[in-house]
Amino acid sequence: MSPAASSAPAPPASPAPSSRRRRKRPLGARLAPYDDLRSIADLCDRFPNVALPHDALFKAFFGNPAESAAIAAKIFPQEASLFDWERMERCPSELVGGNLKALRADLIFSVPLKDGLRVQDGGAEVMFFFHFEAQSRYARNMPLRLAGYKVGILENWMDMHPPNTPLPHIISIVIYNGTATWPDPANIQHMYSPLPDALKKLSRFDMRFDYVLLDLCQMNPAELVGTAKGKMFLDLMATIGGNSKRANVTIETAIEAFFVRHRDLLEACRTETDERISEILMIYLTSTRSEIEPQTLEKIITRTLTPETTDKLMTTYQRWMHNVRTEGIGIGRAEGIGIGRTEGIDIGTTRGLLVGTISTLQSLFGLPVTPRDELLSKPREELETMRDQLEHQRRQLAHA
């Protein structure tokens, strides 16, 4: 459903940028589609500053406008026919909020209405922004966070359009897969102190900040929305997130039930040339739940899928793990060869594996990646300590 380049309206002339702005690209700027990802290396390159796997893998799949459009259309079935989904475009998600604070939303899309749907003859085109946020933990301040994103979108819009241009409408959709039910209404009203009856009329000045909440673990698989593949990935988020704990079953049982539910679709995906489905699936499974051993996962897949599909999924996992280690091995061999002794190659390879593992885990958590030379200058014991601390953090996140 990605629009042709010729169908996109020419953006209005941009005013001279203010010296206090730090934006690099205006909302509505065309970015490369996410469905051109062909490897996990592309995924890591595309999202160098976000925490894998939740953020980057969510963006890698639902960054495809067709997938997010299908979700929005199902949430708003009565209005869906009025939107021109063919012209839905992904927008930069880096914003600047109050006090020049940098904000990074998960996904933002612009969607115009269909031709002819204007408030009145000669009126400006009506524009909507759909903002998606993936959330694995409850956040009481979610309405305020979403409000900050909305302000950033509106300020960006005003910066990049002539004066008196009507503001766009913004709809925020939170996709939550936490272990506990989201306890709050999908707005900010519950955070205000109650008013006595004599002051009830003043509540009209309170802001609402309404948003859409999809609590995946409260939804049956049949209630999930989107395309067939989109619903499978929402179900995957629920399975890896809170489904097993809420249903009081083991994660292995929950994963096996997931594969059974989506057996036909996974078998169909096996014949596709696009490796993105199997890559995101396996990387999400193995990166978010570190207690799942590869052998256990392979047994689950073998019991539920054909040998051909099992082989494809496990090959994808092995390639991912190989890529994680390859850079570290290369670094270590170069260092060992530099020593000029055979045993130096073995020593260097071990250190290189440590360096590669540390760098990969730092990237997974969205942490600053320590420069290679700095890591190589550290003694092996310190590298092992750094690795162990990062592995401990990974296990804690997996059980959170």
Asked whether residue 228 falls in the same domain as residue 342, the answer is no
Asked whether residue 48 falls in the same domain as residue 169, the answer is yes
Distance of alpha carbon 35 from alpha carbon 344, whole angstroms: 43
For residues 364 and 53, the answer to whether their CB atoms sit within 8 Å is yes
Inside any domain, residue 350: yes
Inside any domain, residue 356: yes
Inside any domain, residue 1: no
The domain boundary residue, chosen from 243, 271, 289: 243
Inside any domain, residue 249: no
For residue 62, give the H/E element and its range: helix 54-62
Which one, of 276, 321, 328, 275, lies nearest residue 298 by Cα? Answer: 321
Asked whether residue 359 falls in the same domain as residue 230, the answer is no
Asked whether residue 39 falls in the same domain as residue 134, the answer is yes
Asked whether residue 223 falls in the same domain as residue 366, the answer is no
Inside any domain, residue 9: no
Inside any domain, residue 28: yes
Which one, of 201, 59, 192, 28, lies nearest residue 133 by Cα? Answer: 59
Which one, of 41, 10, 82, 115, lies nearest residue 276 by Cα? Answer: 41
Number of folded domains that form the chain: 2
For residues 35 and 276, the answer to whether their CB atoms sit within 8 Å is yes
Asked whether residue 219 falls in the same domain as residue 341, the answer is no
Asked whether residue 110 falls in the same domain as residue 232, the answer is yes
Asked whether residue 234 falls in the same domain as residue 334, the answer is no
Inside any domain, residue 312: no
Q: What range defines the domain where residue 374 resides?
A: 327-399
Asked whether residue 227 falls in the same domain as residue 351, the answer is no
Asked whether residue 73 falls in the same domain as residue 219, the answer is yes
Inside any domain, residue 7: no
Asked whether residue 43 falls in the same domain as residue 156, the answer is yes
CA dist 115 → 73, 123, 162, 274, 313 (Å): 18, 12, 22, 34, 44
Asked whether residue 237 falls in the same domain as residue 339, the answer is no
For residues 169 and 128, the answer to whether their CB atoms sit within 8 Å is yes
The domain boundary residue, chosen from 196, 214, 243: 243
The domain boundary residue, chosen from 225, 243, 261: 243
- pLDDT tens string, the chain, 400 residues long: the values are 444 333 444 434 444 444 334 444 445 443 333 333 344 444 444 444 444 456 777 888 898 999 999 999 999 999 999 999 999 999 888 775 555 456 788 899 999 998 766 655 556 678 899 999 999 889 999 999 999 899 889 988 888 888 888 899 999 999 999 888 999 999 998 888 999 999 989 988 988 899 999 999 889 889 999 999 999 999 999 988 876 666 677 888 889 999 999 999 988 887 765 566 777 788 778 777 666 777 888 889 999 999 988 888 888 777 766 665 554 444 444 444 443 434 443 445 566 667 777 877 776 666 777 887 788 788 888 888 888 888 777 666 655 5
Distance of alpha carbon 78 from alpha carbon 56, whole angstroms: 31
